Chain A
Amino acid sequence: MSRARLVFAGALVFALAGCINEETRLYEIELDGQVAVPSGAPSAGAVHLEFHVARTFGEGELAHPLGVFETRTVASVGPVRETVLYPLDEGDGLVVYGWLDRDGDGVHCAPGQTEEPAGLVEVASFPAHALSFSLTLSAPCVGPESLYP
């Protein structure tokens, strides 16, 4: 039996014995993505990405769509490769939301400033350790709540 398996078995015994304080279960996903803007639209600027649980667990009325678990900023639109840790006990499904920081102020559509496009995609084939997505930023100044479900 490998050392890792021994540790895992030990952890399991501990958990079953009720001796663990808190347990967090994460699922690693390597995401290969393509972020784009509609052709002809300005594309300069960093892209802010949010990774959401598509549906968050909750008892009865407390269940709800979306629930951000990681955020990243990439230098520009184009190919993206990110590794994220998905919280297995919080929900199911995977959604990627992003917006283009055209004016470079780090704020999405500050009042009176440049209009900045956003987009959202639900990643198909979840759960899997390697997934791909294609995200188009075309909706100006909206949060993920206006794009999903």
Chain B
Amino acid sequence: MKLLQFFCLVSLLILDVAFGVKHELFKRCDQSGFCRRNRHYGNEISKTQNKYYSINEESVKFGHSVITGDIQKSLNQSHSVRLPFTLEILENNNIRLQIDEDRSKFEFNHKLLQKERYNEAWKYAFNGIPKISKNYKVSDISNGQFDILYGKDEQYKLEVYTEHFEIIVKYHNEPQIIFNERSFLNVEHIRSKDNHESSLLQEELNFGSFQDSFKDSKADTLPFGPESVALDVTFQGFKHVYGIPEHADSLSLRDTTASEPYRLYNVDIFEYEVDSRLPMYGAIPLLVAHKPGVSAGLFWVNGADTYVDIKKQDRSVPNALREHIDTQTHWISESGIIDVVIFIGSSPTEITSNYAKLSGQTQLPQLFSLGYHQGRWNYNDEEDVLTISENMDKYEIPCDVIWLDLEYTDSRRYFTWKKGSFPDPERMLAKLNETYRSLVTLIDPHLKLNYEVSDQVSEKNLAFLDKNGKDFHGHCWPGESLWIDTFNPNSQEFWTTLFANDSGFAGDATNLHIWNDMNEPSVFSGPETTAPKDVITYGNVEIRSDHNIYGLTYHEATFEALKERYINKRPFVLTRSFFAGSQRSAAMWTGDNMSKWEYLKVSIQMILNQNIANMPFSGADIGGFFGNPSKELLTRWYQTGIWYPFFRAHAHIDSRRREPWVPGEPYTSLIRNAIRLRYRLLPLFYTKLYQSHVNGSLVLDPLFYKFPDNRDVFEIDDQFYIDGLLIKPVTEEGAESINIYIPDDEIHYDYDTFQKFQGLGDHRISTPLEKIPVLIRGGTILSRKDRYRRSSKLTRYDPYTLVIALDSNRKAKGNLYIDDGETYNYKLADQYLYLELNFVDNILNSEILEGAGSTGGSTKVEKIQIIGDDLSFEEIFIKQNDTEWSGSFEKHDNYYVVKNPNVDLSKNWSVSFR
């Protein structure tokens, strides 16, 4: 043997880091007391068929659009629990049901906690007090039933059953939604630990009632014992239900009978998985159900830890023409009250829109925030930031925002700067502002102990409290921290001072915007990486009851603070955590995804779901946060990401750099082309966001929103419409071609070549790497700004290009919204234009529908492109201000171009093609 000592490197593969969510950190339903108890109760009650809940008929009072009374939960012959309910008929034919619990007779002497159930989730979830409807009729109670007829032509009917509490909602004489059909209604009434065993019904399980056995939350004091609320809701004949974001899953929700329920509990879910019902960063408890002719929605207004079980119940009659499948849902929340709103209408758009009217519409973002955002954890210093900005110009890639993650701060103390790296933030901001670029910096709710900001939060009593009433301390990025309690109205005032104009943070810069991360809240030292459930928030409320709302209160506080700072400018705030209502003040992104193809794919499903749930201003990290995407994946991700309403590339600190110029040719050019396409289409995105802002419409429409009668599209979640653009991003590695599904017989034109596609069904499109599969639907008029500029604001003096794609009847239509792109003047002074472009009978009409103009930018049109078959115009006449003149145009095979028509969009005009 030769005795040799040699040097070798351990195979790197062996030591590669394993990625994946840490399942053991998160409670499964069977590890969660209230979830397991309710699932058990559901199973048992299905067997025993016992009925414990009834309406005390004598207690029922009929008021103005409001019916109140008591539900009785009978424990035994002599004991019952009083559960006051309120039933309201709201405008837009929405019905709201609240069930509370009367705890007045219970002795509860906790100095730090209110005795009553938390019933204020609606204050955050709704945009103000909901308006009631006057258009209804109520019958008297007879035979254990009363009915309410409401809506236009009394299309709606509510049947309330008293003996066994049940509500059937009918629309067009058909039952659509049934409450408590399966008797899963469960209000775990308050009881002392001593009386606990005797308070249990025979169907109830005693698990985790006063003691949590999950390893990380054993310290939970559960001061109220069991207090969950649960209800079953059946959607009759609805095979498909959607919504309840945020989950990394298919758009159409799955049956959860044999798996985990969908869970809504805002958590920092590190390295999340796809195809998963695990909870994520945000929660919007809105479920949308759809079948041809009828759509419905259910809004579960509760901010506590919530599980939703979904069961597809086949009730088809043998040999029937069509299957009949009900979706049965089971809603389980740990605490709070039952507060549900239901929506029924003729289309899914109506449901989202009605929900938006109740919960508030998406705020109109500043134009810049629809541009390209370049992020990375982290750009290291001022020079790094400015070099990124310069490189964008060098490579002629438009860009609006550079992002600074965590590391810009001094020791992760928010509102400070790492002085060595960012010696003069105002100088840097001013430099970026030269081309109207913005900077977004991270401000999180955890505040490191022992510095100015956290000291003041503590002094002013604005922090979360622990179960003993002391400031709650936990660990997050900076180490030991406290959390600002933005449920507390006093927090707003303080928070506003931190962002104030001329404050130490960024002087008077107006191009600084804010990113709120970790606001689930993420607490590294807490159970399920969040705050222990017995932490106390403002108003003597355990965070158990308002947990899912916290993220919203936090980003809303930031929004309000920025509004003060900028006086008349719309703030931009990005949040990771959200709740119903978040759309009013923030954009969201899908958190920490991975550089893998399946995450590219799921991003579309997730963003479509955000659109359904009325939070369309959403995006996913382009390229994937963790890991290093291949150049192909990066390119395809940009080609997909340009369709996200919020368009940001971002990367983890351990990832290699991947700014658009890093991959080199041909990738850099393909990425540039994609980003420029997005910028050309900014007028379209801005118009879509405006429409969402005004009427709650979607920016990205799943196919079933556009074609609610075509059953074949109900499960399609890999393609979508944005206005008349039908888009199917390539999300498969090496895909040489893809099938795109056209949902009806209308003509669609290839966006690049104007090649015609027609016929319901799949069409093959070849997809070399440079190809982004996009079709323009016949009947569409698109507005664009085609000229490359360094940032969105720099396009303001550029003229528009109009693209008219004729449908089979040689018609087309479109809208365009224009304003100054940043202020509230559209609202305050009517300074905007909303116009309709209409092509019919060979005449293009541009008509101003709303607004008084004064948009501060160009309203000229440089080009009108008209796409269609057998175009045969010989001359065109343009008319504006009572003057008519002939225009010049170019003929091509399948399209014509009108050159410089010299029209002004701020007045009506027309072009006639002869």
Please determine whether chains A and B interact with each other in the same assembly.
no
Name B's A-contacting residues (CB within 8 A).
none
